[in-house]
Amino acid sequence: MLTKTKIYLSSPHMGGAEQGFVNEAFNTNWIAPLGPNVNGFEKDIETYLGNHKHVAVLSSGTASIHMALVLLGVSKGDEVICQSFTFSASANPIMYQAATPVFVDSEPETWNMSPELLEIAIKDRIEKYKKPKAIIAVHLYGMPYKAAEINLIAKKYDIPVIEDSAEALGSYYKNKPCGTLAEFSVLSFNGNKIITTSGGGALICSSLQYKNQAVHLSTQARDNTPHYEHSKVGYNYRMSNVVAGIGRGQMEVLDKRVAARRKNFQFYKENLKHIESFEFLEEPDGFFSNRWLTCIKTSSYEQREQMRLALLEDDIESRPLWKPMHMQPVFKDYLHFTNGVSEDLFKKGLCLPSGSNLTNNDLNRILEKISQTPQS
């Protein structure tokens, strides 16, 4: 019997040049959290983003969000507003600083932070003498959030924004690359992201001074003396030169990866359009999504589960949309401003296999399974 291979939600997809850069690290013995690949990878990202930002590559996206909070001076007891509909890594660094998260729900057009609720939340906190120290907004699944609206509110109340672009490298908002839309932006190169270094992240800074501070703090905050002198608490967050080599290779194929993921989205949308109860997330005017994951909103929890289980039966991985932070056991007791949007998405939504390395056979196999599930 022919055994079918497992189809993953989103798996690493190497381009070919990665190993050359890694070999170079070995050949030159730059096996350290510094070296030519680290500098080269940072340059590559800066070039991709239009050369007006300063990039520090770090050990993960989570570490990068943490570093942004540290640089903004977020500390014990401070409040930080965070999009509720996201992966927990957006919010965890708030806890590392012993600060307090305040969660804000999404609007239905992009599934990201609702500007309306954001302003309500800010006003409420200011009234209670708890002006938020930062806002963490997320381009979920690669779809840009409403950056103009969010930035306008942030500016009005003078609160810095941290742009969680972990899922959105290759996305654009009104012709500006995601990762350049805030004071600090964050990328992730985890194994499931649009490009990967096996694990890694980047902090994108609006000034060279911020970048230098980030690098200093991420390499144990060693002062400039012959012995080890420390006047600040440091972190071991720098990316290694071996890992950065993978990143350099991946940057060469980023545009191809975006094109392939967008093609997956088109394939699903085109071939499932007869199922009227399915909703796809469309790009508003001026929004360009990398379509990191293709998501479907079904009509009910039951329909979603039937589809997920049918796929699983055939060894095809799919996953419910992110469970909102305000519903998570670890965060449920924190203040949240909600409107039902993310709860509804969590109940009815499913992420379909979306890797840039899916074959036509894979896609047709997935389609066949979905077509067999009830379509009411």
Ligand X SMILES: *Cc1c(COP(=O)(O)O)cnc(C)c1O
**Active site members:** 193
What is the x/- site pattern for ligand X, positions 41-70, by CB under 6 A?
-------------------xxx--------
Nearer to ligand X, 170 or 363 (CB): 170
CA distance 88 to 94: 11
Q: Which of 72, 154, 161, 166 binds ligand X (CB under 6 A)?
A: 166
Which region, judged by CB under 6 A, interacts with ligand X, from 81-89, 221-229, 255-263, 368-376?
Answer: 81-89
Residue 210's φ and ψ, nearest 5 degrees, are -60, -45
Q: In angstroms, what is the minimal distance from the CB of 186 to ligand X?
A: 7
- Which span sits near ligand X by CB under 6 A: 86-94, 237-245, 253-261, 310-318? 86-94
Strand ranges for 69-121 from DSSP E: 79-83, 100-104
CB of 167 to ligand X, least distance (A): 5
Q: Output the CA–CA distances (angstroms, integers) from residue 301 to 23, 294, 308, 376, in the order listed.
A: 49, 18, 10, 12
Candidates 86, 106, 185, 264: give the one binding ligand X (CB under 6 A).
Answer: 86
φ/ψ (deg, to 5) at 326 = -70, -10
CA separation (Å) from 174 to 142, 283, 289, 313?
14, 11, 11, 41
Q: How many CA atoms lie within 13 A of 199 on its CB side?
A: 7
**49 or 138, CB closer to ligand X?**
138
- Toward ligand X, which CB reaches closer, 119 or 164? 164
Residue number closest to ligand X, CB atom: 61
How many chain residues are in contact with ligand X, going by CB under 6 A? 14
**Longest CA pairwise span in the chain (Å):** 71
What minimum distance in Å lies between the beta carbon of 192 and ligand X? 7
Residue position matching structure tokens 């980030």:
214
Nearest CA-CA partner of 278 in 294, 297, 300: 297
Least distance from ligand X to the Cβ atom of residue 228, Å: 28
Q: Which of 87, 210, 265, 334 binds ligand X (CB under 6 A)?
A: 87
164 sits near ligand X (criterion: CB under 6 A):
yes
Pick from 151, 171, 190, 289 the residue near ligand X by CB under 6 A: 190
One-letter amino acid at 25 equals A
Minimum distance, C-beta of residue 294 to ligand X, in the bound complex (Å): 15
The residues, ordered by sequence, that sit 6+ positions from 307 with a Cβ below 8 Å of its Cβ are: 298, 318, 350, 370, 373
Please choose, from the candidates 84, 88, 119, the residue with its C-alpha nearest in 3D space to the C-alpha of residue 103: 84
Interacting residue with ligand X among 67, 122, 138, 215 (CB under 6 A): 138
Are the CB atoms for 139 and 164 separated by under 8 Å?
yes
Q: Which stretch binds ligand X (CB under 6 A): 74-82, 101-109, 163-171, 349-357?
A: 163-171
Rule CB under 6 A: which residues touch ligand X? Answer: 60-62, 86-87, 89-90, 138, 164, 166-167, 188, 190, 201
